[in-house]
Chains A and B, each alone.
Chain A
Amino acid sequence: MTAKKATKRVSKHATKRVCIDVGGTFTDCLVLDESGELTKFKAATTPKDPSTGFINSIEKAARHYQLSLRGFLSTVDILIHGTTLATNTLITGTGAKTAMLTTKDFRDILEIRRGIKPIGISLYNIFIPPNRPLVPRSRRIGIQERTLYTGEVVTPLNEQQVAESVRTLSRDGVESLAICFLHSYKNPSHERRAAEIAREVAPDMYVTTSCESLSMWREFERFNTTVVGAYVGPVVTNYLNTLTARLKDGGFKGSLLMMLANGLVQPVDQCINRAVYLLDSGPAAAPAGAIYLGKLSGQNNLISVDMGGTSFDVCQIKAGQVPTTTERWEGDQRIAIKMVDLETLGAGGGSIAGIDALGLLKVGPQSAGADPGPACYGTGTLPTVTDADVLLGYIPHDYFLGGEIKLDLELAKKAMRVVGDPLKLDPIAAAEAVFKSVNAAMADKITEVSTKRGHDVRDFVLVAGGGGGPSHAGFIADLLGMPTVVVPSVAALFSAFGMFAMDPGEDYARSFVARVATLDIGAMNKLYEEMEKEARASFKAIGVPDRDITLSRTADMRYVGQFHEVETSVPSGKLTRKQLDETVAKFSREHETLYTFGMPWQPVEILSLRLKATAAKAPFALRKIEKGGRNASAALKRRRKCRFDGKDVETAVYDGDRLKAGNMFAGPAIVEETTMTVVVPRGYRCKVDDFKNYVLTRQ
């Protein structure tokens, strides 16, 4: 009955909403239809032109609804899209031929890069290749101009030199241009003028400026961020233009919203010129999905993990807020825009196990990827995490992707000897060592993410997504002593699901350097108001009325003399001195939570003011499944031999499709679904909730 009611409640939508996440291997498509039903579709990603895979996945959905592509698209009002295109373009080094116009006599900021050695390389390892910036020195042109930190111009822009340089670069086949001048966050006039000239001289060139990419002080961080955007810009723009055209041709009249790095979504035309914001588009959605699922069970302290083929993304969510950072490195590139604070470990189903220099077992970061893939797929020869999962009996070799792919146990066994023999372990024992070792690495990563913020991981609920998450999460939670794990039914399409839960919106920031004791509140209010005005105008353009917009203010604060800020929330409306003092007290408390101490005697200063503008997403609800009793035996599919803690156990295997809300069973147990396998370790009890999430609770 409840299920019916739920259907009724959401049936007020006359249209469909679709979220599409284009990953490295699969394009995931989730459709929320008029009846409130959430249906999953997967198509192969087409790397040459990802818009083909995108359309293919929609065609699959259209067939499901017995509609033509046109017929289907005409019923879609919102299409949210995440893509790893920008990230992949950066990681694989396939971006545009990019050049840079920068302040004369400072053209090596990008290459000297504050003297930082590659992140993640040990202090004691100097046998590494030199840094290769995205723009080589020969394409970094010093332009006569200089602005001071006060905004005062001491050397006017040499417009003729700009025009001549762009002409030469264009002749040399440069496709993309980053304009990066010192102190442009304070006075952007030179950058803006140079961009105008460049667009005039070379209309086909992708032109971006540092002040529009990130209007913040500290030039290495700002310039590098801008250059990354310029580097991926043309590829991303071409793709988005093709995609919009194909959708329009297909009869799509709704709005196409892009998933951004900061965990918000924005209409496609607003981000086409700021491609850097499309990094992590996709993975950045996962935490929003976790928050949504957490709310269903009243939990808002969560750790969202996404275990894919090559990587394991971790995001810690405190009080239901998606955390963000401005300190990201993507490989060798520093990106200083605000991004969802995901940390990634190079460990996933495809991670290869080996023996390191000290004779210890090591898993990843090398990955067998999709090609050759894990040994059990038939083409690889090196042991991977997936091979271990299969050998331990967790992943059914006869029911992988619902039996679509048959897995070869013997090949997995043979490969596992590569690590088993040196460790004097038989293949199954070696598989268990690989399994435990990768779990330990993932658990360590979670601890690192969590402890870095000063939180005890045991106070959090683990929400597990990705293809591998459901099989490993229970064990990771066990290692960490985490009491609860939620494995959502949409785990395998976790990012796409997250996009449903996303609020459209944007982040704004202004530099505002002032000591709290003496600052000009009027000026501060004015900056907030300015940003709010900008945000309202931006929403108005996509038809969102003022009353639907939520504006939240923060300020980056620190004790005078410190170099790093703590982002502290600031009340809205006209700010008073008293409210400001309360904000300072809040900052001090936050500092103590993060770093074990506060310094109430020390004056506090503000560095930047920030505004987050969001519009509430259209309401949506997951459909409830049929209620059943505690007894799950009706869904018992079979018993299978699995290895737990060195012992073979005849393990109960449940059919996910037959489980009902309220069913409960104790580990060790396994749930088989077409897109995933949930492993419930010993010591955990699994309960199926109303929305068919598997909730594992430590006994």
Chain B
Amino acid sequence: MTKAKKGNGKTVAARKAAVKKPAAKKTASRGSVLRRPKTDATTIATVWHSMQTICREMRHVIDRTAQNFLISQLHDISVGLWDSKGTTIAVAVGLPPQFLGAGFAVKALLEKFGDDIAPGDVFLTNDPYHGGHCCHLPDWAFFRPIFYKGKLEFFTMARAHQQDTGGSYPGGYFPNGFDIHAEGICIPPTRVIKRGRVRKDVLDLVWNNVRFPKGVQIDNYAMLAACKRADERIVSLLDKYGRETVLDCVKQMIGRTERAVREEIRKIPDGTYYGESATDDDGTELDVPVSVRVDITVKGDEMTVDFSKSDAQRKGFINSIYAATYGNAFAAVILTIDPALADYHNEGTMIPVHIVAPPGSVCNAQYPATVGASPVNVGNQIMESVLQALSKARPDRAVAAWGKHRGDYVFGVDHRTNERYVRTSFDYDGSSGAVAGFDGYQGVSCLTALGAVSRGDVEEMEIRLPWRLVKYEMMPDFAGAGKWRGGPGIYWAAINQGSDSGIATGSSDGDEVQGFGALGGEPSPKSRTYIVHGEEKKRLKPHRLDTVKTGDMVEKFSSGGGGVGNAAERDPEMVREDVENELVSFQAAREVYKVVIDPATLRVDERATRALRAGH
């Protein structure tokens, strides 16, 4: 309970990163709530929406110009706006671990460069440590300070998952690295553009340390263009409304958001709520699960999310640094806050919520721990445990676990062009979990991406890569049942028509540990991956490295999300519809949902159903 006290809640790392600022900032924004606003509500709303639009435009620029499948088509991108002190202003589009904690990096940048930051500068970093606060090495971030009439006012950032970041194997998701340096090039906050002039020698050093340097170069230009565009747009916004007005609008928005979030927290009964989740293993010590445990203590209008009971950091690559934990935990908290506030989250959301993770925990890993898989594992576990705890605290906003990410990296040679390729994708994920009131959404992948990423097209994949799809369909009875069921699980199979290739399942999880169901809903089922070589079928677990030979088939059974509420309370008509759509079998309808359906007419046998549900 002592941890609930403000200020004490933060870890050493967080406190160090935050440098005395939180206290000052808190008073400032609280003050603004009490003060009579001098900017009218229309202007506040207008400036606010303009900033959201700028973020979307940034993503659009990257999306249109990048060359990396993961960035352009699947949107593994985050962009946002921070103020000159690292206060979060606009985080409209992105992946939680990539950007909700990026304020720490801005603060570290200010600490490192101080007054030596000029208009037209751009800084690059991908380092989880040394002031980068980056969740793992492939997620490179460009930070651009935005000056107005000579004064630093904002920072913008574009962060995206690069095709390669060096290290022992392509792609950045391979297990068993010796330490962080084995995972790739570590770039501390580094100035790559000085007053508008590209420091080509510095960038060449960076690009020289990755595979596919030309591709990465294109993607970097795309990200730099997005930052430049944001700078132009923000300056014209300041021109239009004036510096004082824009800054006041930002302050007012943060104040309003904070007030609304405090109201939401106040609706939760005071007390401590527990949640836990585990990843199958850490990729080095095999088949031993790693657990994240959280106590969420609510007192009045503040909330402390405490990961102290979680496992210690591991030799394997599933360690999460504090900024990533912070981003994931926040995202989970935000999901259970009134959806009407969904468009408004900013620093104001973060003020009444304290995220605690002791250094050396798997949720606050210290140098030189490997972190490659952490956006998925234990990032997913951080979100799951928080959602599990909050589903108990606010049953009306209960959220079940989503299907686990079933990603892999394949690296080989495409015989058609004799070029090397790396393939990764969200194509073989399942679906999201149910929420109180709705079934899980179909096909959206990966809780830690919140549906910001997309899947590819079959035709595009067959044209671009030496793989032929065999089957790609939803599977019956392969999601958590419930009053509201999880989105369906998905079956995916494809044949390797390229060279013998490496396959790394670092971004997979969920062969053993299942995602939770909420309020009595069933958990998300176990997933499986196989390599089929002629008659032989070999199981491929998460966090492993293996080989797929030419002609082999990779087969994935990726489960859907967990359910919410008791399956026997599901509306029989919804069960009937699922049976008609071959998403639920007659047998499961009867045994799990307690609904009897006549196979000849496909109608609900109401009498038999009533009897079955009454327990006869």
Contacts and interface: CB of A to CB of B under 8 A. Distances in A.
Given A124-B335, A126-B435, A563 B473 contact: no
Contacts of B454: 114-116
Contacts of B94: 123
B233 interface: yes
Nearest to A104: B471
A217 B460 CA distance: 7
A127 B473 CA distance: 25
Given A436-B42, A452-B57, A563-B72, A114 B342 contact: no
Specify which of B45, B61, B581 lies most central, judged by the most chain A CB atoms within 10 Å of its CB: B45
A596 B144 CA distance: 15
A138 B455 contact: no
Contacts of B455: 112, 114-115
A69 to B, nearest CB: 49
Contacts of B113: none
A594 interface: yes
B72 A562 contact: yes
Interface string B414-446: 000000000000100100100111111111110
Interface string A409-437: 00000000000000100000000010011
A356 B40 CA distance: 15
Given A106-B471, A444-B46, A595 B462 contact: no
Interface residues of B, number: 94
A359 interface: yes
A440 B40 CA distance: 13
Contacts of A127: 339, 397, 435-438
B458 A359 contact: no
B195 interface: no
A149 B472 contact: no
B240 to A, nearest CB: 8
Contact of B442 (A111, A121, A218, A220): A111
A649 B97 CA distance: 55
Interface in A110-130: 111-117, 121-130
A182 B458 CA distance: 8
B116 interface: no
Contact of A564 (B63, B214, B215, B260): B63
Contact of A221 (B49, B442, B457): B457
Given A357-B338, A360-B44, A361-B41, A115 B426 contact: yes
A127 B400 CA distance: 12
A698 interface: no
A358 B443 contact: no
B443 A124 contact: no
Interface stretch (B221-229, B371-379, B593-601): B221-229
B472 A106 contact: yes
A123 B445 contact: no
Contacts of A451: 53, 57, 233
Contacts of A360: 41, 44-45, 256
Nearest to B457: A218
Interface string B387-422: 000000000010100000000000000000000000
B481 to A, nearest CB: 15
Contacts of A448: 53, 56-57
A113 B445 CA distance: 12
Interface in B464-517: 468-474, 487, 490
B61 A596 contact: yes
A121 to B, nearest CB: 8
Contacts of B441: 117, 126, 128, 130-131
A130 B450 contact: no
Contact of B343 (A116, A122, A423): A122
Contacts of B397: 127
Contacts of B256: 358-360
Contact of A595 (B61, B67, B472): B61
A561 interface: yes
B345 interface: yes
Contacts of A357: 260, 338, 340-341, 344
Contacts, number: 217
A148 B453 contact: no
B50 A595 contact: no
B48 to A, nearest CB: 9
Interface in A184-240: 217-221
A183 interface: yes
Contacts of B137: none
A434 to B, nearest CB: 9
Contacts of A111: 442-443, 474
B69 interface: yes
B380 interface: no
Contacts of B40: 433
B611 interface: no
Contact of B342 (A107, A112, A124, A481): A124
A542 B69 CA distance: 45
B213 to A, nearest CB: 12
A358 B344 contact: yes
A349 to B, nearest CB: 19
B399 A126 contact: yes
A112 B474 contact: yes
Contact of A602 (B57, B218, B432, B472): B218
B93 interface: yes
A358 B255 CA distance: 10
A105 B473 contact: yes
Contacts of A130: 438-442, 487
Nearest to B257: A358
Contact of A128 (B257, B345, B438): B438
Contact of A358 (B66, B260, B429, B472): B260
Contacts of A131: 441-443
Interface in B276-305: none
Contacts of A136: 577, 580-581
Contacts of A591: 65
B570 to A, nearest CB: 14
B110 interface: no
A562 to B, nearest CB: 5
B67 A559 contact: yes
A130 to B, nearest CB: 5
B456 interface: yes
B443 A148 contact: no
A114 B458 CA distance: 10
A129 B41 CA distance: 32
Given A106-B472, A111-B442, A127-B397, A561 B67 contact: yes
A597 interface: yes
Contact of B450 (A124, A221, A440, A599): A124
Nearest to A142: B473
A630 interface: no
B457 A114 contact: yes
B463 interface: yes
A275 B229 CA distance: 39
B458 A106 contact: yes
Contact of A112 (B67, B72, B490, B582): B490
A361 B581 CA distance: 44
Nearest to B61: A595
Pick from A111, A123, A126, A131 the residue with the most CB of B within 10 Å: A126
A40 to B, nearest CB: 35
Nearest to A129: B438
Contacts of B260: 357-358
8 contacts: A113-B443, A115-B444, A115-B445, A126-B432, A136-B577, A138-B581, A451-B53, A562-B218
Q: Considering the complex of A and B, which 4 residue pairs feature the smallest CB-CB distances, nearest first?
A: A561-B67, A122-B342, A112-B443, A137-B581
Interface of A: 105-109, 111-117, 121-131, 136-138, 148-149, 182-183, 217-221, 356-362, 423, 433, 436-437, 440-441, 444, 447-448, 451-452, 481, 513, 559-564, 591, 594-597, 599, 602
Given A112-B442, A116-B454, 12 more contacts: A108-B473, A116-B444, A126-B441, A130-B438, A360-B41, A437-B45, A440-B46, A595-B64, A595-B65, A596-B229, A597-B221, A599-B221
